[in-house]
Amino acid sequence: MVNGSGQFSRGGQGFRAGIEYNITNKSSISLSGRYGDRKFNRPMNAFYNDYYPLLDQNIYYRSENSGKSSDQFYNLNLDYIYNIAPNGHQLSVSAYYSGSKENDPSLTEQDTTDSAGKELNDSTKYTQRVDEVGDENEFRFKADYTLPINEKTKLEAGFQAQIENTTATHRLFQNNIENLGQYDELDFSQNINAAYVTFSSATKLFEYQVGIRLENENRTVTQVNSNNDIKINRIDPFPTIHISKKLPWDMQAQASYTRRISRPRSWSLSPLRRYMDPQNIRVGDPGLLPEFTDAYELNVQKKLNEASFVSLEGFYRRTNNLMQQYIDTSEIKNNIIINTTKNYGYDESLGGELMLNVGLTKWWTLNGSGSLYNYKLTGDDENAGTKSSTNWNLRANTMLRFKTGTSLQLNYMYNAPTVTAQGSRGAFYTTGVAVRQELLKKKASLTLQFRDWIGDPKMEMITDTPSFYSFNKMQRETKVITVTFTYRINNYKAQNRRSSEDMNNDMGGDMGGEMM
The per-residue DSSP string of 81-141 comes to EEE-STTS-EEEEEEEEEEEEEE--EEEEEEEE-TTSPBPTT---EEEEEEEEEEEEEEEE
Residue 147 has a pLDDT of 97
In 10 A of CB 249, how many CB atoms?
6
Residue 505 has a pLDDT of 43
Give the phi and the psi of residue 503 in degrees, each rounded to 5.
Answer: -60, -40
Quote the CA–CA distance of 160 and 8 in Å, as a whole number: 37
CB distance 95 to 75 below 8 Å? no
- Compute CA distances 223 → 49, 170, 328, 412, whole Å: 35, 11, 21, 44
Quote the CA–CA distance of 162 and 492 in Å, as a whole number: 30
SS3 181: helix
Residue 122 has a pLDDT of 65
pTM tops 0.85? no
Sequence-distant contacts of 9-16: CB under 8 A, at least 24 apart: 9/40, 9/41, 10/38, 10/39, 10/40, 10/41, 11/38, 11/39, 12/36, 12/37, 12/38, 12/39, 13/37
Please tell me the number of Cα atoms within 13 Å of 153 on its side-chain side: 3
pLDDT in tens, the chain (516 residues): 667 677 777 777 888 888 999 999 999 999 999 999 988 888 888 777 777 666 677 877 788 888 788 889 999 999 999 999 999 999 999 999 999 999 888 888 888 888 877 777 766 788 888 888 999 999 999 999 999 999 999 999 999 999 999 998 988 898 889 988 888 888 999 999 999 999 999 999 999 999 999 999 999 999 887 778 899 999 999 999 999 999 999 999 999 999 999 999 877 888 888 777 667 788 889 999 999 999 999 999 999 988 899 999 999 999 999 999 888 877 776 778 888 999 989 999 999 999 999 998 989 999 999 999 999 999 886 556 889 999 999 999 999 999 999 999 999 999 999 999 889 999 999 999 999 999 988 888 899 998 887 777 788 898 888 877 888 877 766 677 888 888 776 654 444 444 444 444 443 333 333 323
CB distance 347 to 319 below 8 Å? yes
Residue 27 has a pLDDT of 94
In 10 A of CB 383, how many CB atoms?
7
- Compute CA distances 2 → 67, 148, 334, whole Å: 18, 63, 16
Quote the CA–CA distance of 475 and 58 in Å, as a whole number: 27
Regarding the domain delimited by 2-158+178-511, which CATH topology (the fold level of the hierarchy) does it fall under?
Maltoporin; Chain A (2.40.170)
**Of 431, 482, 497, 382, nearest in space to 30 by CA:** 497
Residue 502 has a pLDDT of 47
